[in-house]
A and B are shown apart, each in its own frame.
Chain A
């Protein structure tokens, strides 16, 4: 069995064996150990991953369902993009477990089992290279997340969990039809129904553009709901607000990335013509989402909702970067996925820590906390500034690259996307700084807040690695960009060539553009 299967199987076995552990503390320690082991395996994958290698690595291919006219294989493999997301998943899972250690006391072993199942599902999504297998993992995620929101969530948890489930299911069923359609196209050519991505890529690209268009949208809607792209975002604030902290962290940190991952892997990968044809529509939706999300975030009185809407904005940048189809845009989109996972994950987690102390989400119940909980204020400021996109921290790199990509994109062929979405950066500063001000600065408005305790050592342990990564990515992005460089360049060049007939100019090499020395000037 290959490393990737081990990676997926370990949490599943862990979840199954949790059935026998009833004691809450043992269950948590056990789950943490499983999560750390999974993270360790993903690090081994990272160490042995060959940045210069061509195509997918760590390939596994096991026949699964087969008959004379049907061949579905369990195919696993990763490229740079999947690798980054796998690392994000395993890393955030460990962090989220430590960070929310004491936040739940009811049915803990159940929650832990669902979290592990969720992790397995997410890893499966990022690693599978067969559309059928991908779809199964994609849907598998619904079940644990549904229960996490529905059992451990807030007052309106039933509504939120149902909305989350139905919304996602609605999108993904159309994707299922598209997957079957693609398989049948393969059957017409080779006589065997297959959903193997490597076999489908050539077939789908040779389909007539009108067919490509239908299929493109079937996939795109399903991913857009997950991202969520405006106007499919309405489930997100509900789900985030009602979900328990650990659920929010994973939801914002990893789950949303499945949508943008799918857009790059399947929409751009399978339907190049349709992607180019629909790039402007997707980008317009992204830009609308960037501005709309920011404006709505500004007026929120509920901090969790505010962070949720900020996700809509940030994910908009990612989608814009993807559909710019330039090297910078795609690189920026991938690094921004990681950034958003770190910064928004951290914001949700830190607010969760505060919520455990105060049990209120209303922003007016806070104020002046910097005097009472200085350590909290510092860490929260870092997360907030990373989310704003302060140069030197990770958020800047992602937003800068995606905007740059949108600016020079021959596919979008207009500056207006970049210009309009850069207002999103300004608005982000407005709503996040304003939130921080009302939350942390000024006089202490509520006397009961004086009793609040500062971050504990355990909480610090969970936050420090996040900060380290934020600074690391901010200062030395190349270390992370080079992992994805190879696959991104190939994809981007192919698309740009399809559009303009020319390969992207070498001056657009992200090595030069994101050189940190250049930024400092």
Chain B
């Protein structure tokens, strides 16, 4: 263990430390205050900055336990920014429920700590610890609104199904340990990974994949997502579906790099992932069309977006990795902004959970509507927004890996997706509201955070090199 190792893990240490600090503060303060939010924001900004300066490293820290490379640091930035945004939105969303502020802040920080472990785990045990840390925080966060039945239901559902998925993941680790005699991904890769076509290894890999695909809510492991996102506090739903997914994808990259079978069975695993990707894209988008609640719609669409990112996993090439990283980051921004708007509307007007509530929004709240419109176009993959560039890169990866059919499935599902994303815009801009409430938009810090996120979506669309330069550091 050297000084360098701690520098590599500094973002994790900062986030965990802030989490502990927030818990202490929460325990000792007399009157609930906004201080935990300030601390969380500062902590996540610090973690992001440190991770940014770490980009360019290429080591394995702590005696082969902890990756210290650009991929892991890039994802660390993504997680930290997601935590920052979540806490800024919480500023408003948790107004009037100050008791929860400390709890939410501490748990989101611990979840982010887990995510970093997933993105940096060079040993499967570290990955597993990260997965569990993150998941347990999510289970609690989903049930954060103790007095609301749907919040409890959401937590329970997520916990039960999540526990199952974790079981699969753990079983996969056991089989891999049995085959290789080590938990280190680096050593497994040096032993030839799954190139040996060992059935035990393949089984292990597939079980690992199932555990991770559950977390990204890919078809057919998506069943929990709509219910959980809908029942959980909107804020938490947004955090789970963005940072949580990015974490699972970061793990998928690591597992894929070390263990993606390249032998005769390799093609089959690739096909398996490709089929899951295609099914997720098509199923998610088709089912999203018929949703009446916006959070359920976003949940199904998040299954579809997981499918898009899986294009990159299935491609399994450098461009695929780049695509996964870019899209994870972009998707985090888009989905956080979308959930953020829903959360703010829900808080301010008591409505905004039904899709029909968005009718005539452009008249009542022009800026909110503008933000949501940009996000919808970006989610639909229309240039010049960042969502388009991300998708472009993933299609590029798929075509480069000779997966033309998969790219075409992606194209078809994008057309389907345009339908329901545009419906929100139609409602906001082309329809009149059923309610005549006039409420002013408040430009508070939460709203500004969502607005800046949207600006970032535009900026990354116009200047994709901002992201690409960071990411390609890793792939080289």
A147 at interface, CB cutoff 8 A? yes
Q: Do B411 and A151 touch (CB < 8 A)?
A: no
Interface window among A89-97, A154-162, A416-424: A154-162
Which residues of A sit under 8 angstroms from B411, Cβ to Cβ? 173-174, 176-177
Determine the residue in chain B with the shortest Cβ distance to A63. Answer: B465
Which chain A residues border B392 with CB–CB below 8 Å? 132, 176, 180
- Shortest Cβ gap from A170 to chain B (Å): 5
Q: Is B415 on the interface with A (CB-CB < 8 A)?
A: yes
Residues of chain B lying within 8 A (CB to CB) of residue A158: 426, 430-431
Contact with A along B445-476 (1 / 0, CB 8 A): 00000000000000000001100110010001
Are A65 and B414 in touch, CB under 8 angstroms?
A: no
A173-B411, A180-B399 are known contacts. Are A135 and B319 too (CB-CB below 8 A)?
no
- Report A19 CB to chain B, min CB distance, Å: 10
Asked if B414 contacts A183 (CB within 8 A), the reply is no
Establish whether residues B415 and A169, one from each chain, have CB atoms under 8 Å apart when the complex forms: yes
Contact flag A68-B472 (CB < 8 Å), given A142-B382, A162-B422? yes
Return chain A residues, CB-CB under 8 Å to B56. none
* A136 within 8 A of partner (CB): yes
Q: Across the interface, which residues of A come within 8 angstroms of B267, CB to CB?
A: none
B382 CB contacts on chain A under 8 angstroms: 139, 142-143, 169
Of the candidates B396, B408, B419, B422, which one forms a contact with A183 in the assembled complex, judged by CB atoms under 8 Å apart?
Answer: B396
**Is there contact, CB below 8 Å, between A69 and B319?**
yes
Q: Which listed residue, B384, B414, B468, touches A67 by the CB 8 Å rule?
A: B468
| Other-chain residue from A69, A176, A177 in contact with B318 (beta carbon distance below 8 A) | A69
Q: Is B262 in the interface zone, CB < 8 Å from A? A: no
Answer yes or no: A140 CB below 8 A from chain B CBs. yes
Cβ–Cβ contact B465 & A65, under 8 A: yes
Q: With A166-B415, A184-B400 as given contacts, are A150 and B426 in contact (CB-CB < 8 Å)?
A: yes
* Chain B positions 321 through 359: 1 when the CB is less than 8 Å from some CB of chain A, otherwise 0: 010000000000000000000000000000000000000
Q: Which residues of A from 106 to 138 have beta carbons under 8 Å from B?
A: 132, 135-136
Contact partner of A184 (CB less than 8 A), chosen from B318, B377, B399, is B399
With an 8 A cutoff between CB atoms, is B429 at the interface?
Answer: yes
Q: Which chain A residues lie closer than 8 Å to B414 at the CB level?
A: 169, 173
Closest to A136 in B: B383
**Chain B nearest Cβ from A148, distance in angstroms:** 11
Q: Which residue of B lies closest to A72 (CB)?
A: B464
- State whether A166 touches B395 (Cβ < 8 A): no
Residues of A within 8 A of B419 (CB): 162, 166
Alpha-carbon gap, A136 to B458, bound state (A): 13
Q: Could you tell me the distance between the alpha carbons of A180 and B398 in the complex, rounded to whole angstroms?
A: 10
Q: Is the C-beta of A181 less than 8 angstroms from some C-beta in chain B?
A: yes
A66 within 8 A of B: yes
- Which of B319, B399, B476 interacts with A177 by CB under 8 Å? B399
Of all chain B residues, which has the CB nearest A153?
B430
**Bound CA span A135–B384, Å:** 10
Closest residue of chain B to A183, judged by CB? B396
Q: B108-142 interface mask toward A, CB cutoff 8 Å, 1 = contact, 0 = none?
A: 00000000000000000000000000000000000
Say yes or no for B407: interface residue by CB 8 A criterion.
yes
For the complex, is A46 an interface residue (Cβ under 8 Å from B)? Answer: no
Q: Which residue of A lies closest to B467 (CB)?
A: A65
A351 contacts chain B at the CB level, 8 A cutoff: no
Q: Given A65-B468, A166-B419, does the pair A181, B430 have CB atoms closer than 8 Å? A: no
Which residues of the partner chain B approach A150 to less than 8 Å between Cβ atoms? 426, 429-430
Question: Is there contact, CB below 8 Å, between A170 and B415?
Answer: yes
Question: Does the CB pair B426–A162 fall under 8 Å?
Answer: yes
Q: A69-B319, A139-B383, A184-B400 are in contact. Are A177 and B408 (CB under 8 A)?
A: yes
A175, B395: Cα distance in complex, Å: 12
Kindly provide the distance from the CB of B264 to the nearest chain A CB, expressed in whole angstroms: 26
Of the candidates B399, B418, B431, B468, the one whose C-beta lies within 8 Å of that of A181 is: B399
- Per-residue B-contact encoding for A266-300, CB less than 8 Å = 1, 0 else: 00000000000000000000000000000000000
CB neighbours (8 Å) of B426 from chain A are 150, 158, 161-162
Q: Which residues of A contact B400 (CB under 8 A)?
A: 184, 187
Interface pair A64/B465, CB less than 8 Å apart = yes
Residue of A nearest to B362 (CB): A151
- Contact A166 B430, beta carbon cutoff 8 Å: no
A133 to B418, CA, bound (A): 21
B-side contacts of A173, CB under 8 Å: 411, 414-415
Interface residues of B in 394-420 (CB under 8 A from A): 395-396, 399-400, 404, 407-408, 411, 414-415, 418-419
- Asked if A193 lies at the interface with its beta carbon under 8 angstroms from chain B, I say yes
Name which residue of chain B comes closest to A157, CB basis: B430
Query: Closest Cβ of chain B: how far from A76's Cβ, in Å?
Result: 16
Verify A184–B396 contact, CB threshold 8 A: yes
Q: Does A165 contact B (CB under 8 A)?
A: yes
Chain B residue contacts of A64, Cβ below 8 A: 465
Report the minimal beta-carbon distance from B118 to chain A, rounded to whole angstroms.
26
Complex Cα distance, B285 from A35, in Å, reads 40
Is the pair A161, B319 in contact by a Cβ cutoff of 8 Å?
A: no
Please tell me if the beta carbons of A135 and B383 are within 8 angstroms of each other in the complex. Answer: yes
Q: How far is the CA of A361 from the CA of B408 in the complex (A)?
A: 42
Residues 47 to 79 of chain B near chain A (Cβ within 8 Å): none
Report chain B residues within 8 Å CB of A193: 396
Task: Give A176-192 as 1s and 0s: 1 = Cβ < 8 Å from B's Cβ atoms.
Answer: 11001101100100000
Determine the distance from Cα of A64 to Cα of B411 in the docked complex, in whole angstroms: 25
> Which of A147, A151, A165, A184 is within 8 Å of B418, CB to CB?
A165
Verify B430–A140 contact, CB threshold 8 A.
Answer: no
Contact B422 A140 (CB under 8 A): no
Task: Identify which of B377, B408, B418 gathers the most chain A CB atoms within 10 Å of its CB.
Answer: B418
A180 to B414, CA, bound (A): 16
CA distance A146 to B468 in the complex (A): 31
Name the residue on B nearest A147 (C-beta). B429
B377's nearest neighbour on chain A, judged by CB, is A143
Q: How far is the CA of A184 from the CA of B388 in the complex (A)?
A: 18
| B422 cross-chain contacts in A, Cβ below 8 A | 146, 162, 165-166
Query: Chain B residues with Cβ under 8 A from A132's Cβ?
Result: 392
Chain B, residue nearest A67 (CB) = B472
Contacts of A165 in B (CB 8 A): 418, 422
Chain A residues contacting B465 (CB-CB under 8 Å) are 64-66
User: When chains A and B are docked, how far (Å) is the Cα of A169 from the Cα of B419?
Assistant: 10
B residues within 8 A CB of A166? Answer: 415, 418-419, 422
Which residue of the partner chain B has the closest CB to A159?
A: B426
The distance in angstroms between the C-alpha atoms of A139 and B387, with both chains bound, is 13
Q: Which residues of B sit under 8 angstroms from A143, Cβ to Cβ?
A: 377, 382
The CB with the most chain A CB atoms within 10 A, among B322, B377, B396, B469, is that of B396
The answer to whether A151 touches B396 (Cβ under 8 A) is no
Contact with B along A36-72 (1 / 0, CB 8 A): 0000000000000000000000000000111111100
Question: Once the chains are docked, how many angstroms separate the CA of A187 from the CA of B469?
Answer: 19
Interface string of A83-102 (1 = CB under 8 A from B): 00000000000000000000
Count chain B CB atoms within 10 A of each CB in A132, A165, A183, A193 and give the residue with the most. Answer: A165
Give the contacts of B363-383 with A (CB-CB under 8 A).
Answer: 377, 382-383
In the bound assembly, the distance between CA atoms of A180 and B404 in angstroms comes to: 11
Residue of A with least CB distance to B461 = A136
Task: Quote the shortest CB–CB distance from B385 to chain A (angstroms).
Answer: 10
Q: What are 8 A-B residue pairs whose CB atoms fall within 8 Å in the complex?
A: A132-B392, A139-B383, A142-B382, A146-B422, A158-B431, A176-B411, A177-B395, A187-B400
Closest 6 CB pairs of A and B: A136-B383, A173-B411, A150-B430, A67-B472, A170-B415, A139-B383
